[in-house]
Amino acid sequence: MHSRRGQGSFEYLLLLGGTILVATVVLVMAQGSVAGANNAFNESTNDYSSYIQGGVNDVLVNGTLIHEQPSGCMYGNPACGDGYYCGGQNACVPIVSALLSGYVFDYSGIPLSGATVRVVGGVNSSATTNAAGYYSVSAGVSQSSGQYSVVAARSPANAQSTAVVNLTVGYASMQNFTLGYNPASLSGYVRDPSSAGISGATVTCGSYSVTTASGGSYSIGNVPMSSATLACTLAASKSPAFVPNSAAVTLNAGVAVSKDLQLSYTSASLSGYVRNPSGVGVSGAGVSCGGVSATTAGDGSYSIGGVAMSSASSTCTLAGSKSPTFVSNSVSVVLNAGTTTSGQNLQLSYASAAVSGYVRNSLGVGLGGASVSCAGYSATTGSDGAYSISGIVMSAATSTCTLAASKPGYSSNAITSTLAAGTTASGQNVQLQPSVATLTGYVRDPSSVGIGGASVSCAGYSATTAGDGSYAISGIAMGSPTSTCTLLASKAPTYSSNSVTATLTAGATTSQSLQLSYARAAVFGYVRDASSAGVGGAGVSCAGYSATTASDGSYTISGIPMSSASATCAVSTSKSGYPSAASTPTVALSAGVTARQDLQLKFDCTAYGAEPYGTSCLWYERHMEGRTMYFTLPPNFATATLSHAGFDDNGNIQLNDVVVYTDNNGCCSASEYDVNVDVTARVHAGSNKIYGYNDNCCGLNAQVIAYITYG
């Protein structure tokens, strides 16, 4: 293990001894043991730069490495004397440098790294402490033994310290240093929110306090430091305009720290009263200033605090209101940061009142054009009788007025209305009683006979005629001395309504008669064939009025004029292909009433070479065996059924049979019997013919009859 002998001796004795006394002891021992330790000296650097390694028999005695004894001064055989060292040629040469080492601490005994230790007047005579605070310097000196000033410093945190140390060439000395800390300083500015400097503000850091200059600058110097860094709270204040502010600051020994602070303006406050025009405080009024609001107490007083300020002095609009009773009011107030501005009073005037409602007649009908007044203010009703009077000046929270209404043709009327400031008194209705008119007369038929039970009306008033047709409508409300109305008379369903314009006079009776004509009659029904199927396209007539049946056979004849309450007419119908209607009935007609009459048409079989047979037609023909028969069908037949048939001995038609009888010349017996007949029938596509084929084996006199059912 490589070991610097002088350093090893020092460290060993330091651990055993202690402080200054130990250093002295170490110095003596080091001086007495350098040669014995055979420290290697570097001639080129004029310093101890290398050390020899002992042999296997080396021993450590009292902190000194004792080697085995090979020959030469390198091994102490012989050893060099004081002032000499063993050179590279294993010969003793003069020593011209001294070794100095030690530790640098602060006042708390904490090792200081990075401290510079310098021998004043020495050559290559400075060193820097390591993490343990240790330093070692081989100083070139100008005398073999003497006192030198040694300076230890650690900038900028620590103040330097100087010690006088006796250095002897060829010997090791030790010197420890204790360094105090340089004072710290702190400076900066205190500014307002607009970055303008605040003069006269108090700035503190720990127990140090200063006042800012005119530009807001401050400086705190010579703050003693017991360590490299020190935390303090930097605080600034200026009452009452500003809110104090602070920030954490770290002070560094020997360093000037800069830190600015900003102070916001203290909020302002104001107080006062809100009063009515009589000087009485208004309770419950809303008061606001600068976005902050309050409500007045029972005596009208208020207090608003916390009004934010952006400068030392500013103005705000102080507004007071209490809806709906009072009209809002406002004034401009000057506020000072951190100060209460008192005596800021407001007066609120009463809000105007309003009244609304309707003027109606005794029937509840609104009267347009009526004049309405209240407390010297007036309005005219609209067409529906509505009115509204606003802007009524109030000298108190509530008052009353006489609400009067009038209109020509009506008696004036008035009521008492209670008004409230800022409020509309709605539903203030006045009823006017008009002068009334009377209307009389008769309602008669075209023969001038009175019609009893007829309804008569005029201007919303009505009556019913007596048995002789007379009527009387009284109490017709008049909105003016004269007016007109539509006089309407009706009696359904017998009569058609009629109306005339009647002129009415207030307080007088007007006579007006009306004539009613008979309402027209109508008839409807169905036209059907013998199978009850509706016949479309048939003509139907009654009293000179006609109609044509629809596809289902229905018809309606309307608008038949009546000269009396009742009458009759013969209803007839016809259609090509039908010989005539089954009958021509007589229908009883009533004015204003629709009568029903159904009709029947019979098909004309003979027009198509057939014979009527009940509700059907029969086509028949005598044929010989193998003959084919053709029958023409009516064009309106949708379907037709072909049956085979024959005659019996009495000449009666027998459906679905062929009756064969002999003429005593045939091949068949003389007796009557049924013979099967093969009859084929179908409808020709696209035609109105059918055919049948007789395949009778012996039917000399056989007949095939086509039985066609229509409808």
pLDDT for res 501 = 95
CATH number of the domain residue 591 falls in: 2.60.40.1120
Give per-residue pLDDT as tens, 212-242. 999 999 999 999 998 889 999 999 999 999 9
70 with 203, same domain?
no
610 with 660, same domain?
yes
Specify whether the CB–CB gap between 420 and 454 falls below 8 A. Answer: no
Give per-residue pLDDT as tens, 552-570. 999 999 999 999 999 999 9
163 with 299, same domain?
no
Distance CA 159, CA 27 (A): 27
Q: Which of 437-441, 611-615, 652-656 has the highest mean pLDDT?
A: 437-441
CB atoms within 10 A of CB 98: 28
Dihedral angle sign, alpha carbons of residues 362, 364, 370, 376: positive
243 with 168, same domain?
no
pLDDT for res 46 = 44
Structural domain that includes position 224: 184-262
Chosen domain end from 241, 262, 283: 262
Chosen domain end from 545, 568, 602: 602
67 with 157, same domain?
yes
402 with 461, same domain?
no
**What's the CA angle centered on 424, arms 419 and 430, to 5 degrees?**
75
17 with 128, same domain?
yes
Which of 12-16, 308-312, 396-400 has the least mean pLDDT?
Answer: 12-16
More confident residue, 402 or 138: 402
**What's the CA angle centered on 357, arms 356 and 362, to 5 degrees?**
160
pLDDT above 90 (res 245)? yes
Buried b (16+ CB within 10 A) or exposed e, 156-183: ebbbbbeeebebbbbbbbbbbbebbbbe
17 with 75, same domain?
yes
Checking DSSP bridges between strand 659-660 and strand 599-602, what pairing results, if any?
A: unpaired
Checking DSSP bridges between strand 398-406 and strand 430-431, what pairing results, if any?
A: unpaired
Dihedral angle sign, alpha carbons of residues 35, 38, 43, 48: negative
110 with 24, same domain?
yes
pLDDT for res 412 = 87
More confident residue, 76 or 572: 572
473 with 547, same domain?
no
Band of the pLDDT at 124, cuts 50, 70, 90? confident
Band of the pLDDT at 482, cuts 50, 70, 90? confident
- Count structural domains, the chain: 7
Give per-residue pLDDT as tens, 306-361. 999 999 999 999 999 999 999 999 999 999 999 999 999 999 999 999 999 999 98
Which of 106-115, 157-166, 327-336, 645-654 has the least mean pLDDT?
Answer: 645-654
* Single-letter code of the amino acid located at 297: A
Distance CA 243, CA 266 (A): 5
pLDDT above 60 (res 67)? no
Band of the pLDDT at 610, cuts 50, 70, 90? low
pLDDT for res 698 = 38
pLDDT for res 555 = 96
532 with 641, same domain?
no
Q: Which pair of structure tokens corresponds to residue 404?
A: 């009067």
Please classify residue 114 by burial: count the beta carbons closer than 10 Å to its beta carbon, then call 0-12 exposed, 13-18 middle and 19+ buried. Answer: middle
Checking DSSP bridges between strand 436-444 and strand 514-515, what pairing results, if any?
A: parallel
Which of 239-253, 311-325, 480-494 has the least mean pLDDT?
Answer: 480-494
Chosen domain end from 144, 162, 179: 179
Distance CA 630, CA 549 (A): 33
CATH number of the domain residue 97 falls in: 2.60.40.10
507 with 647, same domain?
no
CB atoms within 10 A of CB 253: 23
pLDDT for res 506 = 80
Band of the pLDDT at 620, cuts 50, 70, 90? low
